[in-house]
Chains A and B, each alone.
Chain A
Amino acid sequence: MGSNFAECHPVGFRWAMKARERGCKLIHVDPRFTRTSAMCDLHVALRAGTDIAFLGGLVNHIISHDRWFKEYVLHYTNAATIVAETFQDTEDLDGLFSGFDPESRRYDTKVWAYEGTVAGQPELDKSANQPPAKEGQPGVDFRRMPPRTDPTLQHPRCVFQILKRHYARYTPEMVSRICGCSEAQFLQVAEALCDNSGRERTSAFVYAVGWTQHTVGVQYIRTATIVQALLGNVGRPGGGILALRGHATIQGSTDIATLYNLLPGYLPAPSAQVRAHDTLEGWLANEMPTTGWWANGRKYMVSFLKAWYGAAATAENEWGYQFLPKNVGDHSHMPMFVAMHQRVLRGFMAMGQNPAVGGQNAVFQRGAMAQLEWLVVKDLFVTETADFWNAPDVEDPSAIGTEVFFFPSASVPEMDGSFTNTQRLVQWHEKAIESPGDCRSDLWFTHQLVKRLKKLYQGSTNPNDAPFLAMEWNFEEVDGEASAESVLREINGYTLPDRKLVKSFGDLRDDGSTASGAWIYTGIYPEEGRNLAAARDADEYVSLGWAFAWPANRRILYNRASADPSGRPWSDRKRYVWWDDGRREWVGYDVPDFPSTKPPTAKGVWAKGGMDALDGDAPFIMKPDGKIWLYVPSGLVDGPLPTHYEPWESPVDNALYPKHPRNPAAKTFNVVGNRYIDPGDPAFPIVISTYRLTEHHLSGAMTRWLPWLASLMPELFIEISPELAGERGITNAGWVTVATPRGAVECKALVTRRMRPFQVMGRTVHQVGMPFHWGYRGVVTGGVTNELAALVADPNVTIHEAKVFMCQVEAGRNAKAVLARLEDAPRPVPHVGRRERQAAEANIDRAIELAEAAGSPAEILVEPPFPLDQPLGVYHG
């Protein structure tokens, strides 16, 4: 579900095909019949944006038909835990959870806590845009005592009973009504899943951005978690929820943290809006639970600071904690472009990113870049982003003052480095050929940039420059490039001062005697000359000798759950990791994810904290209570249980909660050219999804310039059912204009029965789909699909909702006429002359002075204190 595995991850799909040859049943639940569906035993079509209803139906089916895995659920999940009285469900409040503030459209999440626990939510400024950091489950503080439980599961406020009530109305009829699939199809999936789970068998979910790119994206995955936990499919071979990542090493760039709110190794980035983050001790107290594995967080944080700041990080200066920049708001992609549009953000580096095509509401995003002073683009080709000032909708490029620097990039075979895949498997690749001309790797570029900046900053006494001067940067240099292996050695970590490589994160210390760039990767380079990412020793099963999977070369996380509470395999067929009574340790085919000699019968002593607090049958050691969370008492901002809300733009009302059609806490952006479509608006009656094809990669920046690949999918098209095509007079391979309030795009029609109309709540709903690979540069060009999409986001992670919104389609090439008709038509890139620019700069300088005086730079982003020649880019967050 939520993935087009075969088309977007064809190399990984090899294993799905191998599994099918061995008898595995494959089911594809997806709005379209794709190349993935073609390979499956069953394809269930559902209306885009309704997966929570479908998955919630599964939860209801599993509970009401008593198909849940009792021993697993009782021991390994928080089903028995009792929730505080302050929690009220959406079933009680017509679609809202307790704690909602309609004015700020935010929840006070403290009221969802477990009974009797101290819910130490980060103190958030109400105007702040940053959600509480999520990794490490901050906020649940069980310092006083473990959470109260009722092992009979009868307590009305125990998680199991809350869950049961919450999903009681997600019946097969309701699923069919909302999703547009038949009850029989839904039941077929439900039964297949239940039959294929339990002691002897396991089932896996595979998802990708078809689940994440929604205003309720995080809750999609959460619903799958509930299903898999109830069926006992986590921590076991053949089970789990597999996130297919969108690029070759997007997993790696999450691990080593290109995200603004994370430091490497999922340590939450400090925020200026969380008062506790003023000091390292406060950060630790706020972010690192005292029980479970994260109680080791201090060692990882201190070692991380030593890796970045070396000798400048000392016990006296909080190990350099104050050198770390602090977030002042939501700095993810969309808010960043809003800030750019408001001229708060004045320079931008796009390395391997093409927002002029790939960004939602692409006209707005290009307009934002026109407000920049400078733009650096480093890519394989001169992309649309490098050429944004010359886009077809720009009337006068000379009016745009942005200075653009283009740096040609080396490609993967031209550099050493690694890919971290969806299984957290880090695989090394070696440079095979020299780059042509002046093309350079990102590592070369970054290394050279730092060297030059270091020179510029040399001798500065400005305290603002201290972090840059403190930063340690002494990688081995080969031909002007930092050696990738030397970077990997720093990531792995070493002891100080002798710089001996550490073998595991168990070796890391909080006294400054170790450094590690990302604690989860320790062990990848356990001794000189042994780069395990380059290991290539495969076998027929787990292949521990092939590359390195973080953490600790472990292939399945939480694999203690592959054994029953007493440590025996659930079944012989599914044996994986188990307790060996003779040897008094955990053994198996994988690296056990549990203290190796802690017996299954061990009783935790809460007061001791850390892993000692947890019992021997608590496999989910990254959680403070060692359990899978069916109900999330803290860490999410839009509810402790997933609830079906319609997409932000939807053809119908919410059948479950008529008063709340949309996620009440979704992030919206009130900026120019970003008008939303109201639910049921007859002017835009057609559901649209955007997606990728095998033949191209994302915005096409890597593929549209290659004639071989370009010719395989040469033009932008819309996939449309013969039923809708007939209604609109659209012919196969003929022209179509697709419109939203954000823009209008012309494309060819691919009329196909792989698309189908849905019967939803008693009416016919049409759905179309468009790939988004084309733009105005390259060997093949075409309309920019993302000009249609809106800026609107999930409140937890600020991911957009390009997987579903509403549109209108008509035959012919009428984009200009359609645009003229739209009442809030997006303007071409706004004119910015020198005078306007100077005035704006003066305003920005004044704003920064004001903000600094007030001691609150956050305000710049939220409410620009200076006039703009555009409507204010105030966005809700």
Chain B
Amino acid sequence: MAKGFYTDTTICIGCKACQTACHQWNELPAVNDGQVELTGNSYDNTGRLSALDWRHVRFIEQFPEDRSQDGFLHGSRWLMMSDVCKHCVKAGCLEVCPTGAIIRTEFDSVFIQQDVCNGCRACIAACPFGVVDVGQDGKAHKCTLCYDRLQHGMEPACAQACPTDSIRFGEVSELMVLADQRVADLRAEGVPAYVYGKEEIVGGLNCFFLLVDKPEVYGMPADPRLPSDNVPEGLGLSALTAAVVAAGSVVAFRKERMDGMGGEPPPDTGPDTVPHTGPGGGSPGGGGPPPGVDLVAFMSAVHGANETARGRRAEPKAEGGCGGACGCHA
């Protein structure tokens, strides 16, 4: 039975308890021992998900010049959202992992076995959400859905620490019922809420989100693609061919993404220039995701701005996809 997170962003207070609980439980050290610079990007001083930050709270300030407000989440608003690995039903990282280090667990979560990972980086390029990262140990890291806790009947540390239950852990199908009800309630209030992570999004996300604006506003792709999307139908999908074909397609995919990273500096007026779609800017109807946007442009907007502002190490250059490290080109 699939376990996952339902993250209701409308009750996220941006306290970052999830980030801290995650760091503590998983014994992840703070970047540079905590001595980092203020980013100037609202209250976000973490920047992105990484090998050391498996939870990341995004802050999106949307304020018209007159600061007018007309009810909950209408007009002036400050969106907060705790991002995490989606533990996709069809996981790009798992598709491309040539060593079998990335496995699907008995909880249907996606887990990287550290002792098997050889640091080839294929998974980094294959993840459409920018979740996986290689750490100083040369291996790929991301949220484990607290696999060790789950095996002992405990919920993940972040969900337990969340004071408002913005992060809920449980059976995905049951969580989805809760989310659908919440969407209905919010829509009755006129809030354009929807669930991001139903089947349209890479076959479904075991860790899905309730959002009130376009996915890209939260740094999520509106129409994420998987490496296997490029595999022609009818081709026998043995694990090996999948890996080889996927790796190939990833190179192109990844190249496209990196090229799009313009690295524009953050605007002097602070984070107020994040596009604001306003009420009704979300899904046009039903509970599904809104129309897609250009993925390249989106990745550029999100990663380019964040990383330049933060001045942290850039993501590894991905000309070779796996960089040849995995030996798949040999």
Would you call A476 an interface residue if the criterion is a C-beta within 8 Å of the partner chain's C-beta atoms?
A: no
User: Is there an interface contact between B11 and A21, defined as CB atoms closer than 8 Å?
Assistant: yes
How many cross-chain pairs have Cβ atoms below 8 Å apart between A and B? 148
- Alpha-carbon gap, A41 to B74, bound state (A): 9
Please judge, given known A-B contacts A11-B163, A17-B164, A733-B38, whether A712 and B266 are in contact too, CB under 8 Å.
no
- Alpha-carbon gap, A750 to B40, bound state (A): 6
User: Is there an interface contact between B36 and A711, defined as CB atoms closer than 8 Å?
Assistant: yes
Which residues of chain A (702-752) have a CB below 8 Å from chain B?
706-715, 717, 722, 725, 731-733, 748-752
Would you call B14 an interface residue if the criterion is a C-beta within 8 Å of the partner chain's C-beta atoms?
A: yes
User: Is there an interface contact between A779 and B78, defined as CB atoms closer than 8 Å?
Assistant: no
Would you call A356 an interface residue if the criterion is a C-beta within 8 Å of the partner chain's C-beta atoms?
A: no
Q: Which of A35, A45, A733 contacts B39 (CB 8 A)?
A: A733
Chain A, residue nearest B39 (CB): A733
A41 to chain B, nearest CB (A): 4
A824 to chain B, nearest CB (A): 31
Would you call B20 an interface residue if the criterion is a C-beta within 8 Å of the partner chain's C-beta atoms?
A: yes
Please judge, given known A-B contacts A695-B16, A750-B270, whether A714 and B165 are in contact too, CB under 8 Å.
no
Q: What residues of chain A lie closer than 8 Å to B37, measured between beta carbons?
A: 714-715
Chain A, residue nearest B21 (CB): A708
Partner-contacting stretch, out of B60-68, B143-151, B201-209, B234-242: B60-68
Would you call A753 an interface residue if the criterion is a C-beta within 8 Å of the partner chain's C-beta atoms?
A: yes
Q: What residues of chain B lie closer than 8 Å to A507, measured between beta carbons?
A: none
User: Is there an interface contact between A752 and B30, defined as CB atoms closer than 8 Å?
Assistant: no
Would you call B76 an interface residue if the criterion is a C-beta within 8 Å of the partner chain's C-beta atoms?
A: yes
Q: What residues of chain B lie closer than 8 Å to A713, measured between beta carbons?
A: 38, 43, 45
Would you call A419 an interface residue if the criterion is a C-beta within 8 Å of the partner chain's C-beta atoms?
A: no
Q: What residues of chain A lie closer than 8 Å to B164, measured between beta carbons?
A: 10, 13-14, 17
Would you call B23 an interface residue if the criterion is a C-beta within 8 Å of the partner chain's C-beta atoms?
A: yes
User: Is there an interface contact between A38 and B34, defined as CB atoms closer than 8 Å?
Assistant: no
Would you call A653 an interface residue if the criterion is a C-beta within 8 Å of the partner chain's C-beta atoms?
A: no
- Alpha-carbon gap, A572 to B69, bound state (A): 35
Please judge, given known A-B contacts A695-B16, A711-B36, whether A751 and B268 are in contact too, CB under 8 Å.
yes
- Alpha-carbon gap, A752 to B19, bound state (A): 24
User: Is there an interface contact between A779 and B34, defined as CB atoms closer than 8 Å?
Assistant: yes
Would you call B172 an interface residue if the criterion is a C-beta within 8 Å of the partner chain's C-beta atoms?
A: no
Which residues of chain A (22-78) have a CB below 8 Å from chain B?
33, 35-43, 45
Which residues of chain B (70-98) have a CB below 8 Å from chain A?
71-72, 76-80
B171 to chain A, nearest CB (A): 20
Would you call A6 an interface residue if the criterion is a C-beta within 8 Å of the partner chain's C-beta atoms?
A: yes
Q: What residues of chain B lie closer than 8 Å to A21, measured between beta carbons?
A: 11, 185
Please judge, given known A-B contacts A694-B16, A732-B267, A752-B272, whether A38 and B36 are in contact too, CB under 8 Å.
no
- Alpha-carbon gap, A711 to B44, bound state (A): 10
Please judge, given known A-B contacts A707-B34, A717-B38, A754-B61, whether A10 and B272 are in contact too, CB under 8 Å.
no
Q: What residues of chain A lie closer than 8 Å to B76, measured between beta carbons?
A: 33, 43, 753
- Alpha-carbon gap, A780 to B17, bound state (A): 19
Q: What residues of chain B lie closer than 8 Å to A6, measured between beta carbons?
A: 13, 15
Please judge, given known A-B contacts A17-B165, A717-B38, A780-B35, whether A711 and B45 are in contact too, CB under 8 Å.
yes
Q: What residues of chain B lie closer than 8 Å to A13, measured between beta carbons?
A: 13, 163-164
- Alpha-carbon gap, A695 to B43, bound state (A): 10
Would you call B24 an interface residue if the criterion is a C-beta within 8 Å of the partner chain's C-beta atoms?
A: yes
Q: What residues of chain B lie closer than 8 Å to A43, measured between beta carbons?
A: 69, 76
User: Is there an interface contact between A712 and B45, defined as CB atoms closer than 8 Å?
Assistant: yes
Q: What residues of chain A lie closer than 8 Å to B267, measured between beta carbons?
A: 732
Please judge, given known A-B contacts A14-B164, A708-B30, whether A38 and B13 are in contact too, CB under 8 Å.
yes
Q: What residues of chain B lie closer than 8 Å to A722, measured between beta carbons?
A: 269-270, 272
- Alpha-carbon gap, A631 to B25, bound state (A): 54
Q: What residues of chain A lie closer than 8 Å to B34, measured between beta carbons?
A: 706-711, 714, 779-780
Query: Could you give, for residues 127-146 of chain A, a 1 whenever the CB lies within 8 Å of some chain B CB and a 0 otherwise?
Result: 00000000000000000000
Would you call B271 an interface residue if the criterion is a C-beta within 8 Å of the partner chain's C-beta atoms?
A: yes
Q: What residues of chain A lie closer than 8 Å to B269, measured between beta carbons?
A: 722, 725, 732, 751
User: Is there an interface contact between B13 and A732, defined as CB atoms closer than 8 Å?
Assistant: no
- Alpha-carbon gap, A415 to B267, bound state (A): 49
Would you call A199 an interface residue if the criterion is a C-beta within 8 Å of the partner chain's C-beta atoms?
A: no
A747 to chain B, nearest CB (A): 9
For A7, A711, A714, A756, which residue has the most chain B Cβ atoms within 10 angstroms? Answer: A711
User: Is there an interface contact between B78 and A37, defined as CB atoms closer than 8 Å?
Assistant: yes
User: Is there an interface contact between B16 and A712, defined as CB atoms closer than 8 Å?
Assistant: yes
User: Is there an interface contact between B165 and A753, defined as CB atoms closer than 8 Å?
Assistant: no
Query: Could you give, for residues 44-68 of chain B, a 1 whenever the CB lies within 8 Å of some chain A CB and a 0 otherwise?
Result: 0110000000000000010101010
Q: What residues of chain B lie closer than 8 Å to A749, measured between beta carbons?
A: 40
- Alpha-carbon gap, A20 to B13, bound state (A): 13
- Alpha-carbon gap, A753 to B67, bound state (A): 7
User: Is there an interface contact between A715 and B38, defined as CB atoms closer than 8 Å?
Assistant: yes
Q: Which of A14, A45, A695 contacts B67 (CB 8 A)?
A: A45
User: Is there an interface contact between A712 and B20, defined as CB atoms closer than 8 Å?
Assistant: yes
Q: What residues of chain B lie closer than 8 Å to A711, measured between beta carbons?
A: 30-32, 34-36, 45-46
- Alpha-carbon gap, A35 to B67, bound state (A): 15
Q: Which of A33, A35, A715, A780 contacts B13 (CB 8 A)?
A: A35
User: Is there an interface contact between A753 and B65, defined as CB atoms closer than 8 Å?
Assistant: yes
- Alpha-carbon gap, A227 to B42, bound state (A): 36
User: Is there an interface contact between A708 and B24, defined as CB atoms closer than 8 Å?
Assistant: yes
A725 to chain B, nearest CB (A): 8
Would you call B100 an interface residue if the criterion is a C-beta within 8 Å of the partner chain's C-beta atoms?
A: no
Query: Could you give, for residues 253-291 of chain B, a 1 whenever the CB lies within 8 Å of some chain A CB and a 0 otherwise?
Result: 000000000000011111110000000000000000000
B263 to chain A, nearest CB (A): 16
B111 to chain A, nearest CB (A): 24
Q: What residues of chain B lie closer than 8 Å to A7, measured between beta carbons?
A: 13, 15
Chain B, residue nearest A712 (CB): B16
Please judge, given known A-B contacts A17-B164, A694-B14, A748-B40, whether A731 and B45 are in contact too, CB under 8 Å.
no
Which residues of chain A (211-251) have a CB below 8 Å from chain B?
none
User: Is there an interface contact between B78 and A714, defined as CB atoms closer than 8 Å?
Assistant: no
B239 to chain A, nearest CB (A): 39
Q: What residues of chain B lie closer than 8 Å to A14, measured between beta carbons?
A: 163-165
Q: What residues of chain A lie closer than 8 Å to B11, measured between beta carbons?
A: 17, 20-21, 39
- Alpha-carbon gap, A414 to B89, bound state (A): 43
A750 to chain B, nearest CB (A): 6
Which residues of chain A (684-706) have a CB below 8 Å from chain B?
693-695, 706
Please judge, given known A-B contacts A38-B80, A43-B69, A731-B268, whether A710 and B61 are in contact too, CB under 8 Å.
no
Q: Which of A33, A706, A732 contacts B268 (CB 8 A)?
A: A732
Q: What residues of chain A lie closer than 8 Å to B163, measured between beta carbons?
A: 10-11, 13-14
Q: List 27 A-B contacts (CB under 8 A).
A: A10-B15, A10-B163, A13-B164, A17-B11, A17-B164, A21-B11, A33-B67, A35-B13, A35-B14, A38-B14, A707-B30, A707-B35, A708-B20, A710-B30, A712-B16, A714-B45, A722-B270, A732-B40, A732-B268, A733-B38, A733-B39, A749-B40, A750-B42, A752-B63, A752-B272, A753-B76, A754-B61
Q: Which A residues contact B (CB, under 8 angstroms)?
A: 6-7, 10-11, 13-14, 17, 20-21, 33, 35-43, 45, 693-695, 706-715, 717, 722, 725, 731-733, 748-754, 756, 779-780
Instruction: Known A-B contacts: A13-B13, A35-B43. Give 6 more (CB < 8 A).
Output: A13-B163, A35-B15, A37-B78, A707-B35, A732-B267, A751-B40
8 smallest beta-carbon distances between A and B, as pairs: A733-B40, A707-B34, A753-B63, A707-B30, A710-B34, A38-B78, A751-B270, A715-B38
